[in-house]
Amino acid sequence: MCLLTFVPAGVRPDLGALHNGSVINDDGHGFAIVTDSGLLVRHGMDAAALIEQFAAARAALPDGDAMFHSRLGTSGLPGLDNCHPFRVGGDRRTVLAHNGILPVRVAKTETRSDTRIAAEQLIPAMGSLRSRRTRLRVERWMGPHNRIVVLSVDRRYRQRSYLLNEESGIWDGGIWYSNNGYRPWPDLALERGWCTCLTCDGPLAEADQNCSWCGSCTDCGLPAGYCLCRYPMNRS
């Protein structure tokens, strides 16, 4: 699924929403902030630590556009190398992050994700993202179910940020989210028709007998080892 968040200049990020988005999308995280001296870009595998780092950086740098991304890997190896955002064509002045699955052929031996391949090779081959024609070409290529945020401090760009397929995302409280994964788990689970754990409200698959988040029984909510639902003779 992934969750891509865009925070315009002057807007404070919703840290709770970022934490919500990191629960399932836990294959790595990253952020970028536009500053007077360039782009501040950081990556990490620990969501809580990186969100805290983002909050501190944003408090110190409130006047630039910013993005935060939590990854659910669909291709490429797990790890920092495939955490968004990525430099576009190797240019440290321009980065992008993506939500969705791009129409990229990823070889079995390829270690890069579809987004990293697109950022490093495919999108630069379509032209410069400072051109509206190129941005429209990228939108047509990737289709309506993919979303991209571009941040740039290249002075040739008219804007510091661009949202590709912006209409496919959600504006909430002055912040743009690529999907509704930023919402609290109980609300999101209800909207998507998921079951939730009686103990921690985590999402449950239909066949789960124990919550994968806290280990409690999905029927009675008691911790593993204390549940009498399935093994009543284990305890006297």
Protein fold of 3-183:
Glutamine Phosphoribosylpyrophosphate, subunit 1, domain 1 (3.60.20)
Question: Quick one: pLDDT at residue 199?
Answer: 65
Token pair belonging to 115: 């987004």
Q: Under a CB-based contact definition with an 8 Å cutoff, are residues 70 and 54 in contact?
A: no
Among residues 189, 129, 182, 192, the alpha carbon closest in space to that of 6 is found at: 182
pLDDT digits (tens, 9 = 90+) for 104-151: 988 888 999 999 999 999 999 999 999 999 999 999 999 998 999 999
Q: Smallest Cα–Cα separation from 3: which of 206, 187, 175?
A: 175
Dig out the tokens for 191 from the structure.
């909207």
Which residue do the tokens 């040739």 mark? 156
Domain with CATH 3.60.20.10 in the chain: 3-183
The answer on pLDDT for 25 being more than 70 is yes
Enumerate the H helices of 101-199 as residue ranges. 114-117, 123-126, 132-142, 185-192
> Does the pLDDT at position 225 exceed 70?
no
Please, what is the average pLDDT of the chain? 88
- The mean pLDDT of 168-185, rounded to a whole number, is 92
d(CA 125, CA 131) in angstroms, rounded, equals: 13
Average pLDDT of the segment spanning 157-182? 96
Residue 16 pLDDT class (50, 70, 90 cuts): very high
In this predicted model, what pLDDT tens digit does every residue of 66-119 receive, in sequence order?
Answer: 999 999 888 878 899 999 999 999 999 999 999 998 999 888 889 999 999 999
Helix orientation angle between 47-60 and 15-22, rounded to the nearest 10 degrees: 150
Residue type for 218, please? T
- Distance between CA atoms of residues 48 and 29, nearest Å: 10
CB 129 within 8 A of CB 152: yes
pLDDT bracket for residue 232 (50, 70, 90): very low
pTM of the full predicted structure?
Answer: 0.80
Question: Integer distance in angstroms from the first to the last C-alpha of the chain?
Answer: 45
